[in-house]
Structure 1
């Protein structure tokens, strides 16, 4: 079997799992996709010095369509504060575009370990949710610009949409939870889109990458993940009404922590 077809088939199964878990637990797919791709992609000969970059870039590109669907749903429910979005837009674009080039300056081993530590921190957050709603006033434009830039850089470097960082920040700044979640859905689309462009440009002349890559994005894996995750996310959302999601979230947090430790020690 052709190597690209092999990866496509595996990622069709992976995407189904990502979509179901995202719908069931309300988590971003990047926390599942990146560790899985770090394990899968070496089987087709992707060099170790490019492996984390390809896994993260492919995960980020897969977020574009899922974020689009989520953003449309929140827009219909009037959950997106567009004036705030416009004020933070330049920071999100700048941070996301820079992420691919910043990742090139980080050795592959270090990038993988940074991601692993991030996964462990997200596991802790999932097991012990941080609740930060307050009556604080929203910061001024300059503070929001730097916050948006920093969040976008971290999110795109880790191959996620940024909701796990943005929602706590916005609720801490006094924004109601439903608006923070809706805002996060819209910015997830923005970060994923411009982050993918950044990784595409950064990896464009990398000679060690296999066929079917667009910069650092490996297209067969991207197509496989997106194809089934979009189908399975509604199934997971429906299952959430009948399953003990709080308990499942804690189990999944333990699993994520173990994955993070394995990547740290790899």
Structure 2
């Protein structure tokens, strides 16, 4: 009975907090044109902290739940991009197996890594993406075309691994990577929507398995995927994403890039500071 009352007392305010995470992530995803995972993970991490979830579990739960929430939104995104012919099937045939390999590597690494390491990976990569958004001119590319296929295989594997460790879909890393190779941005975004599903589905399953026997998890958790978080965030993010998209048309794109960069910079500093405090404790 005490356990039941604890679950109810925990879940009601927790569900409200999770719904707010979905509202924020959905709005920013629509506003900034990024995958929700890059927003869900840090915000959910701090919600879990507010509810005194063990610091050793926060990063794993945030990443696993974020990957799960990407699955339904990926299906919607793929359908929309395929209808516009923006999915590069030929590229996917080569990249998909290596992205999947990267996901497998990421799941294995996450299973043996402490939460502080996952937090550090997110913080470092988020800082690099922030610098890219703030300092790189829009449309800039480093090379004239995609490299040879062996190098593409390495790129795809790295994207799968890092994205799985961070709990993000394909867009955050795939789009800038392809864009720097002078690849059309719209096709990069469309193709990244499929890569996001390749990452999210097996990645979420892997985090369920990794956390199956973990203790101290919040109520309604399947391993490191919190069921309440999945439902609340997925539903509210899909509701608020269109509002963010409409707002985006009223703001200069340059300011959107700067806004996203500043958000990521602040997020990365906060998460890296948490890692520092954990390591010196």
Deviations 1:198-228 (A, max 9, x none): 1111111223323311121111112111111
For the aligned residue pairs, the C-alpha RMSD in angstroms reads 2.0
TM-score (normalised: structure 1): 0.91
Conserved? CA contact 1:12–1:224, under 8 Å:
yes
Deviations 1:122-166 (A, max 9, x none): 2212223462275335522x4333321211010110111132221
TM-score (normalised: structure 2): 0.86
Q: In 2, Cα distance between the equivalents of 1:259 and 1:153?
A: 21
Structure 2 partner of 1:34:
41
Conserved? CA contact 1:95–1:148, under 8 Å:
yes
Structure 2 partner of 1:81:
88
Structure 2 partner of 1:221:
229
Deviates more, 1:75-84 or 1:121-130: 121-130
Residue 59 of structure 1, CA deviation: 1.1
**Aligned match for 1:264, one of 258, 269, 272:** 272
What's the secondary structure of 1:175's corresponding residue? coil
What's the secondary structure of 2:169's corresponding residue? coil
Q: In 2, Cα distance between the equivalents of 1:135 and 1:116?
A: 30
Structure 2 partner of 1:249:
257
Deviates more, 1:206-215 or 1:69-78: 206-215
Q: How many residues align?
A: 265
Deviations 1:71-98 (A, max 9, x none): 1111001111112211111111222133
Q: In 1, Cα distance between the equivalents of 2:37 and 2:53?
A: 19
Equivalence map 1:58-207=2 (5 Å): 58-129=65-136, 131-132=140-141, 134-140=143-149, 142-207=150-215
Structure 2 partner of 1:9:
16
> Do the aligned partners of residues 137 and 162 (structure 1) sit closer, same or farther apart at CA in structure 2, a change above 3 Å counting?
closer
Conserved? CA contact 1:37–1:55, under 8 Å:
yes
Structure 1: runs of 5+ lacking an equivalent: none
Q: Return structure 1 stretches of 4+ with deviation > 6 angstroms.
A: none
Conserved? CA contact 1:99–1:198, under 8 Å:
no
Structure 2: runs of 5+ lacking an equivalent: 1-7, 275-281
